[in-house]
Structure 1
Amino acid sequence: MDRTDSRLTGRVLDGRYRVGRTIARGGMAMVYEATDLRLDRPVAVKVMHEGLADDQEFVRRFQREARSAARLSHPHAVAVFDTGDDDGTLFLVMELVDGRTLRDLIRSETPATPARALALVEPVLSALAAAHAAGIVHRDVKPENVLLAEDGRVKVADFGLSRAINAETQHTATGGVLIGTVSYLAPELVVDGTADARTDVYAAGVVLFELLTGSKPHQADNPIQVAYKHVHEDIPAPSSRTPGIPAYVDALVARATARDAALRPADAQVLLQQVRRVRLAVEDGVTEDAELTADLLPRSYAGRGSSPTEDLDASTTDELPEILEPAELVGIAELVGAGSAAGAVDDREHTRTSWEPLGGHAPGPARDEAGVYDQERDTVVATGPAAPLLPPRQRHPVDGGRPDLPPSRTTPTRSRRGPVALLLVLVLAVAAAAGGWWFGIARYTDAPAVLGLSRAAADARLDDAGLSLRIADRVYSETVPRGMVVSTDPEPGGRVRKEGTVGATLSLGPERHDVPGLRGSTLDAAQQQLLDAKLGYGDAVERYSDDVPEGQVIASDPVAGTALRRDAAVDLVVSRGPRPIKVVDWTGKDADTAEKSLTSKGFEVTRTEENDDTVAAGDVIRQSPDSGTLVKGDEVALVVSEGPVMVQVPDVVGAGVDAAQATLERAGFEVEVQRASLYIGVQYVVSTDPGAGSSAPRGSTIVISIV
């Protein structure tokens, strides 16, 4: 598993999903925390183990189930976002739920009160009801597939391994493959491989039993015996293990887990309504409700008392056929433990904040340190022809008729031909041994070790061993130099036919990709260029730039042309546009100084002049703009004062005082009258100050002297 972790962690699948830490391990898949680079959100990615993508039928089934699961949108179902095949890596992208599993809760907080147990099961049934309404059967309802988010949400996971109900799946659960977790398998799934909504109802009933009691209903030393008990024994009443549970809660569990599927609720929606009825009674403090109990009890309990805790009487027990003898159980157990041809029991540990992929490929039943079958790790995948794990269950009419019994076995009569037959068997055995020796040993030799050798050296070594070399593939390698042998098929020491061929995979050396030139690209375009170059996008830092427009890439780190490993992260420097510069107001100040200061900051300064009676010449009358921020190259306009308007003083010498005063005022001057030193009272102007013909500011005062 560690090799798989290091191979995928940090890799970007399908150019979009960056794989992070491992959060779950299973026999058929591993689940990783990942980041959707396109939408910048955390997701969970389930990656099927190597080799599964080579099975085209599996790939088609996987994609079909993924599309089926993606149709399901419900607040209590883990959403399926995407599926893909990245160069032989088959994966499923799902919603990431941060929290723990219901299995974690069962281990630490059970037995739970009936109110708590029903409150936990209700959202599970709500999700299953939505699935059943959409024609989807989950097929693997168990505590490991129920996620408890830190914010209190309850989510059902792994709908991606279920199949839509259709004509094709009405007759066999998985097309000849029995998939499920033994402790939660409905009897009909064990007996004849059929599965429908009532199969999920049965599993949900077992989960409710486990919440109420803290233990699984059927205990045994191996998964086959547990499956046998599901077929032959009713689920015990929860109150038999946790006293004090009301009889109507026992009846609810009995109804959901009835061995006859016809006696169970038709689907999760029906069971959900029953759970709500029972939960209301529990929350109201009802300890006994005979009517509710009788209403919930499956019809198979009629005539056996009011409680499912009562033992079956002898006549009822007689109606249950002996499907398998102990010796036959051993045979099936050997079949299930036979490796890839039969199946396996998943022995993985449950992982927090995740769920466990269905299936397993470990050789044989999982056992704990004491060597006893561990029922908390009991996922079974049994493959083979489209046939049930156990013979079809014999049905009995309601009137109590007994089933037809198989014909009794008789001991064959001894024959005098015994010695001849024995001799014939011995001859055949010797012939078989000789044939086995030839076909299994004599025709084969050991493949020599050529790892790390050049192609020529490997060819020579294989030639010395009477074998030939075939180049099967070329792959990148961080440890094996270019042109050297990375791996062989068969491996060194493996069996190969004499004068046969050994396939060799040669190293292309370390995989390196050049950082593309990204300056001037938009951020989205730069990310796409990195993905196209088989590199990853790291982070973006914004900086001001006077020559690169806002939103475009200024530079990359490492710089363009640098050779990096596949999916290595490249950071980008993105322009924020020109740096803003604060504008200072120069109104009323020296214009030359203002122009020099503004120009030094990169502004373009325009200057115009005009007269002003109040602003001294050479000072700034007004500025635009006079506040806020600008960037280099922006324009600042200055209006500079030329001082007041100058007017020529009219000649009023010799004019009467009134006429002179009127003339000067019309010219825009103020007039002040003074008597000359020789004043005689005739009221004529003898002089002006400033003198006639000179220029004076309009509005200034002209002094006239009179005699």
Structure 2
Amino acid sequence: MIGHELGGRYQIIERIGGGGMALVYKAHDILLNRNIAIKVLRQQFVNDEEFIRRFRREAQSAASLSHPNVVSVYDVGQEDDIHYIVMEYVEGQNLNEIIKERAPLQVDEAIRIASQIADALDHAHHNQIIHRDIKPHNILIGRNGRVKVTDFGIARAVTSTTITQTGSVVGSVHYFSPEHAKGVATGEKSDLYSLGIVLYQMLTGRLPFLGESPISVALKHLQEHFEEPRSVNPMIPQSVENIILKSMRKNPGERYQSAKEMLHDLETCLLPERRMESKLSFIDEEDEDSTRIVPAIKPQVSSSARGGSKLSRDAQGDSEREEAASKRIWFKPVLWVSLTVLLLLAMAGVVWYVNKTFTVPDVTVPNVINLSEEDAVRTLQDKGLEVGDVKREYKEGFDEGIVYEQSRPDGAQVKEGAVIDLKVSIIKPPEKMPPLIGYTYDDAVAQLVEAGVDEDRITKSEEFSEMEVGKVIAQDPDAKADYDPSTDSIVLKVSKGVKEFNMPSLIDKTQEEAEATIKELGLKLAKDGIKTEPSFEYEAGKVIGQWPFAPNSLATPGTEMVLTVSSGYPPEAIKYTFEVPAAPVEEGKNSKIRIVYGDARGDNKEWGTKTINTTQTFAVELVLAPNKNGAVSVIRDGELFDTYLVSYIDAKQGTVPVPQLPGSSVEENSYNDWEEGEMENPDTGWIDNGAVAQAVKDNKSKNNGKGNGKGKDKDKDKDKDKGYK
């Protein structure tokens, strides 16, 4: 039945219980998206038309019950030869499980449970429904503590034919009422007797009547008195014991007259004024069917007989008295013998009746291993046995659908109708792929080989990844996916580290800009990753070096970087402002002046351009070093106009010659102080001032010694930053 769908909407999930007449399954209502319980009739009842008719009628009656302590019946249906009832599914335990775990229960808890059962019975009895099988197995306790009574109306549907077939009285013998055990009609008071036994068991942890066989237990219900609850558990109040004593009277007339009456007693029994009430006493009257002593009827004497002489009458009287005395002597033994014989005959009759009612024939369990499930079920049913739970699991060496285990061994002697559980083999289920991501490749392969995968079917591929080199970063099949280790191929992708990239230049960036770039590239700044050095070429705060990745080299993400930042010019450096004169070709006409300079920061640096029409002087900021002099060139209208040299020593001593325009009296100062032979060395980059002086002379010859303007115009120095184009 597991996995079967009844009525097109009830998906069977698992078996959760069962009894002599039905099996109970947990199922899911696909239409309403809720869990429900389904009671399915055993196969031995499906051919009894009267049973089926009454079953439906009683199931519909049970469905009419609407009470918080009654399991709701939602639906009744039939599919082929499967008859079922759909009921409310209660999450929790049944009372029998609770009694086994925790009995004896606390008095208040037992009374609370019994009160809810009595309330449910009162509702059912008002709807003319007798339960007939009240027992802890049929009492469900939800997780919220709510008591739910189940199995209403099912036992009542059993026919005389069914009783004959099963050879037993329907119900649970330990909870039988005496009238139930006799096989006579039962009513509401029979349910109350069973409830009294349930309360007795909750408070004492034991059943009132036990025996070696159902027959002996039934006879004890009929004949014997049970051990009183307070003698077993002295913690039980007298008021509670009185309820048990009254509900378990063998004479139905001495029990509670209704469930409502018993419920009222249960609701008040724990009140302070009732807890120590007097013990109930009952008058044990003789059974009307028992043998009784009937007084003898004396014979009538005629008047003639009474005649005659007084002597003869006296003699006759003496004779009669002797005869009566003799009869009295023999009457008592005969009476007791007769009573004993009658009692033995009555007991023999009861034993014969109960034995006939409860005796179930023995059946030899057949061997169904290696049979298909269908054949195994048919074989067991032919023997009068029932198939219970069927578990389907893979078993090596058995084909799909073949029985590989049975709960009772073949040849065992069991009662007819006994339940045999089976285990049936299924196709070998696929195994789940283990998670391998994060393992080293060798460890992952070792796991797969241990699981049965041939190493030849394991493929390795490598990819760039942020994960450590050699670790698995992906797998196919994925983790927990189905796979067959004996046939499937496995692909493991392994990290070969982070992908390299071309390192950009950080030189001439500010420290903040360089740090931001490092972060964007996935690199890290080392703990002591900032160093400072003086520099002629770069102003303070600019990066002048990067390590370990130089510009345009291959870099690996995650590597720590060290930056060298300029702290400014070295202490020996001299900052010198050189005033450069410039004149137009002709006064009043525009000429474009371009100034290029070189100093310790480098050669051929552009100062800027300006358009002039009068002679002007421009300030050029130079940085000089002991091994690096300065030079400033003025280019007018695209042609070299003049070049001025600035010596580090002169600048330090304050003896730098003042430049004069060509034609002035001091124009020789622009080159007379330079020594010849100091040409610019292309290997070192140092300026040969003698060569520069020669260049000045050559330039003057080219311009025929002409020049415009003399000296420097200090007033116009304020406008040195104006006029750029």
TM-score, normalized by length of structure 2? 0.40
- The structure whose RCO (Cα within 8 Å, separation 6+) is larger is 1
TM-score, normalized by length of structure 1? 0.41
Q: If you compute each CA radius of gyration, which structure gives the higher value, 1 or 2?
A: 2
